[in-house]
Amino acid sequence: MAGKKVLIVYAHQEPRSLNGSLKDVAVAELSQQGCSVIVSDLYAMNFEPRATGKDITGTLSNPGFFNYGVEAHKAYKKQSLSSDIIEEQKKLQEANLVIFQFPLYWFSVPAVLKGWMDRVLCQGFAFDFPGSYDDGFLKGKLAILSLTTGGTASMFSKTGVNGDFRYFLWPLQHGTLHFCGFKVLAPQISFGPEMASEEERKRMVASWAQRLKTLWEEEPIQCSPPWYFGQ
Amino acid sequence: MAGKKVLIVYAHQEPRSLNGSLKDVAVAELSQQGCSVIVSDLYAMNFEPRATGKDITGTLSNPGFFNYGVEAHKAYKKQSLSSDIIEEQKKLQEANLVIFQFPLYWFSVPAVLKGWMDRVLCQGFAFDFPGSYDDGFLKGKLAILSLTTGGTASMFSKTGVNGDFRYFLWPLQHGTLHFCGFKVLAPQISFGPEMASEEERKRMVASWAQRLKTLWEEEPIQCSPPWYFGQ
């Protein structure tokens, strides 16, 4: 898929981790396809996760009563968001596909990646009212979560202690990505790499590389409750 | 319930917000009951959300391959976690009840509060293997999420665009709090305060204050899939 633009939002501290390898193999495979690939390496960037008044340059619309959502929305329209947010929004605007590569922390993304979502996906840029879900402003783009877990696949099944893995995907895939208009591809979940052998970890990386070869032909999931909670 | 200890983990930038009022009324009501109440005001503390090597003081167990979970676990046992984490763990250790007060960001907690969970609830302190869910190390404690939403209650119903509010509670209540052994009380959800009248917002605060009067008599929820996804 030569010419396609891919943004990888990557949240792991260790380049030699399985997350690092999964990110590296995605860069290699997609580049080989002729895609242009950009990586936002959040820990290396020391990306700011906290949503505060520092995100708004210039004067606040209501300095006496700080409402982050309202101020960020207005600052987006006035092009007065802080430069790190603007930079990420530009990358996102250009991208045809966004890959989120991260280890599952507490059934969700690590805080540094949560902060990327909280700050970058602001009203006016990623959505508005109207302008959410199928009409979200990032419509036409694809997104995929590629994550590693501490628990095994059986622990993340309907009868496992952690419940089905689809349960924890709801806030991320539906409440965030779908909300902003993304079409969501099925997640790539590498279960329990720390409990796996070196050979099994290599297979996890190879399996992701293999999937990426035909990723552009995949149909997105039907992102609604039955996919997540159906029998 | 004189003598009980309460920790309020509070994540809002604006003291005069509805979240600020809900926090204030909880401090007032619980203090009046004779409880001792501590507030961790995460934005005011400029609490660090990123899980990095800075959380480990002294030498890393494996400097050539940084594994946050492993290093934090070992540092906990050696009492060499960074002081801000130790401080929060002490407050949590003392608490009989923990109230999380926050606005819903992307169907979850704001990044600053996610970072509190990622960093404070480390292996060895909050859980271990074995030592999770009903055997989590914070067993005997109560927890409750008190949150505000952007959307209305009907948007967060089974047939609403956002799906049932219980869906997004799964990673927080089950995957985090229950995992660490907490008994979880039913959430206090103040729906759509920004779309509500001043009078309705006052009722939201009054209703929380009223509930707190008999909170100690409440039975925890049955924290398993049927509570979240049942018909």
pLDDT tens readout for residues B44-71: 999 999 999 999 998 999 999 999 999 9
* Residue B79 clears pLDDT 80, i.e. is over it: yes
Q: How far is B83 from chain A (nearest CA, A)?
A: 19
* pLDDT of amino acid A1: 79
What residues in A contact B123, CB-CB < 8 Å? none
In a mutagenesis test of the B interface, which of A17, A61, A229 is the best target, namely the one with the most B β-carbons within 10 Å? A229
* Residue A11 clears pLDDT 70, i.e. is over it: yes
- How far from A35 is each of A29, A45, A76, A107, CA to CA, in Å? 9, 23, 29, 31
Percent of chain A with pLDDT over 70: 100
* pLDDT of amino acid A231: 60
* pLDDT of amino acid B2: 83
* pLDDT of amino acid A71: 98
CATH label of the domain that carries residue A202: 3.40.50.360
Cβ pair A22, A100 in contact under 8 A: no
Percent of chain A with pLDDT over 90: 98
pLDDT tens figures, A42-61: 999 999 999 999 999 989 99
* pLDDT of amino acid B231: 60
> Nearest CB to B111: which of A114, A168, A176?
A114
pLDDT tens figures, A62-121: 999 999 999 999 999 999 999 999 999 999 999 999 999 999 999 999 999 999 999 999
What residues in A contact B112, CB-CB < 8 Å? 49-51, 111, 115
DSSP B156-189: TSTTSTT--HHHHHIIIIIIIIITTTPEEPPPEE
Tally the domains of chain B: 1
Query: Average per-residue pLDDT in chain A?
Result: 97
Cβ pair A106, B171 in contact under 8 A: yes
* A–B CB contacts, 8 A cutoff, strictly below: 158
* Residue B11, CB-side half-sphere exposure with 13 Å CA sphere: 27
Contact B46 A50 (CB under 8 A): yes
pLDDT tens figures, B103-115: 999 999 999 999 9
Domain of A203 in residue numbering reads as: 5-229
* pLDDT of amino acid A58: 86
* Residue B229 clears pLDDT 80, i.e. is over it: yes
Q: How far is B42 from chain A (nearest CA, A)?
A: 10
Quick check: ipTM above 0.90? yes
* pLDDT of amino acid A192: 97
* pLDDT of amino acid A103: 98
